[in-house]
Amino acid sequence: MKRLDFYIDDDYLHRNKIKFSTGYRILDDFFEGNGLGEGEVIVIGGRPAMGKTSLALNLSLNICKKYSKKILYFSLNEPADDLVSKQLAAEANIPLHKLVRGNKMDRKSLDRVIVSMNEMKKLNINFEDSDDLTIDIIQDICNEYFDSDLGAIFIDDIQSINIRADHSIEESYRIIMKTLKRISVKLGCPVFVLSQLDRRLERQQYKRPQLVNLKGCGEIEYKADVVMLLYRDDYYHPDTREPDVAEIIIAKNRKGEVGMCKLSYFRKTFKVRSL
């Protein structure tokens, strides 16, 4: 009876309805049309250069701007300054190399950068860019944001989280995914986890990823509520009929259908848009 009371508690039912749009309607449609919410761990997998970090950065901007919520972004591979530069490039629609050099921009481009910078200053996106994080440290940092109105948490990426030497790979990822699930429920927001894919995918003739290609072990797939896998045909075939397009393959979805949708992905500006 105690377990039943937990599920029918009014406060829980109210909290369970909180959802955050991804900013892409075609993607939201896979999640009952209203996005992702608390208690959900979403894995974004892809090979290098497929756009995992770009998608995560754009999602963080979309959620932060739409809901005026705080975002917590753990980057275990890139310094925060680099990620902010990519977000600015995406917001201003300026190629990153021009943004970094500065003197390569015309007046209109510079004006767009200034406007975007002022808009981004209003956003509350918090980066943690240590490369020496364990899941316990991540949990401690997340707990500091309890009752702080978080919209989403991003982990970039799961393979870079330090694991204990006395744990097997399977046990380590089981603990990591279980902890992230607990964090998502406690803080009332979705947790997006970026994941590398096994390099053996590159030796396959068929390059579109599948769940079996997630790097690490089956615990990542098993514990995730949603698994999105990224594929860009123009990476493998420069003469493709669909340049600047990223396929978002919904390979697992506990609360909806699996399938695929397409978004525009502009590599030079790191911008992800609806087609």
What pLDDT digit, counting tens, does each position of 206-234 carry? Answer: 889 999 998 877 889 999 999 999 999 99
- 28-52 pLDDT, tens digit per residue, is 999 987 789 888 999 999 999 999 9
Q: How confident is the model at residue 17 (pLDDT cuts 50, 70, 90)?
A: low
- Span 71-82, average pLDDT: 95
> Is the pLDDT higher at 100 or at 63?
63
Q: Are 263 and 275 in contact (CB under 8 A)?
A: yes
Domain range summary for the chain, segments of one domain joined by +: 23-274
pLDDT per residue over 170-188, tens digit each?
Answer: 889 999 999 999 999 999 9
Judged by average pLDDT, the poorest of 16-30, 70-84, 191-205 is: 16-30
In angstroms, the CA 101 to CA 94 distance is 11
pLDDT class of 103 with cuts at 50, 70, 90: low
The tens digit of pLDDT for each residue in 190-208 reads 999 999 998 888 888 888 9
Crossing angle of the two packed helices 135-143 and 169-187, in degrees rounded to 10: 10
CATH class of 23-274: alpha beta
The whole-number pLDDT of residue 147 equals 81
pTM passes above 0.85: yes
Q: Residue 89's pLDDT is what?
A: 94
The 10s digit of each residue's pLDDT in 242-266 is: 999 999 999 999 988 999 999 999 9
Q: What is d(CA 255, CA 31) in angstroms, rounded to the nearest whole number?
A: 7
- According to DSSP, residue 148 is labeled S
What is the tens place of the pLDDT at every residue in 142-165? 999 988 889 999 999 899 999 888
| Residue 37: per-residue pLDDT | 85
Sheet holding 226-231, edge to edge: 125-128, 70-75, 150-156, 191-196, 41-46, 226-231, 245-253, 259-266, 271-274
